[in-house]
Homo-oligomer: A and B are copies of this chain.
Amino acid sequence: MAFELDKKNCLSKTDKSKKGDIDLHIRKLCDTINALPNFYTTSSCSGRTVLISVPASGRKQDSEWMLCSHDPVSIKQVNSALSTLKQEDIWFRFEPPILHVCAKTIDNAGALLNIVYSLGFKRSGIMSVGKKNVIEMMATERIDCPVVKGGKKLIDDDYLELLVNEANKKLAAGHAKIGKVTKALMQSR
């Protein structure tokens, strides 16, 4: 009963993410996975647009978010976040939907992997095996480019508008994939 106890403990504890709760666009998928006896989710993100200050060290722990949105963004929002520039490097990123899911057995993990891969979560894999079998489910939509270098803005408003439009398109594509996986898993019960 170790798996069942771990599941109960994990799902009852306080959300430790920066956001503090599951974002709306992925809640139904998390609930669907958690209703399956052999799986539970440990973290999730439905896709997000981020402005991130990248430190000279390159260490993720030292980076800082200037903007983080799980909803469509506007140029006004992005420009406003960029208006308080210090002497730093900032990247514009769109990150695809990502979930971490514990599976009861390695065979359960393999079966889930096959389903989600075929529905567009092409960057998925089992991250750890043994005591806990953890699957990382990730889709492929990405933008990752520098927009500020040493405090100097590198791009004009036309290019920023294009980045914003592309990010919003990729956000919708990610939501569609979340919807497909949710539907497939609901039908698998």
Contact = CB atoms under 8 A, between A and B. Distances in A.
How many copies of this chain does one complex carry?
Answer: 2
Contact of A126 (B123, B125, B162): B125
A128 interface: yes
A113 interface: yes
Contact of A113 (B58, B109, B127): B127
**Chain A interface category by residue count:** 20 to 34
Contacts of A144: 142-145
A128 B146 contact: no
A33 to B, nearest CB: 17
A154 B145 CA distance: 14
A151 to B, nearest CB: 14
A117 B144 CA distance: 22
A146 B130 CA distance: 41
A166 B142 contact: no
Given A144-B144, A145-B144, A109 B136 contact: no
B146 A163 contact: yes
Interface of A: 58, 106-107, 109-110, 113-114, 117, 123-130, 135-136, 142-146, 149, 154-155, 158-159, 162-163, 166, 173
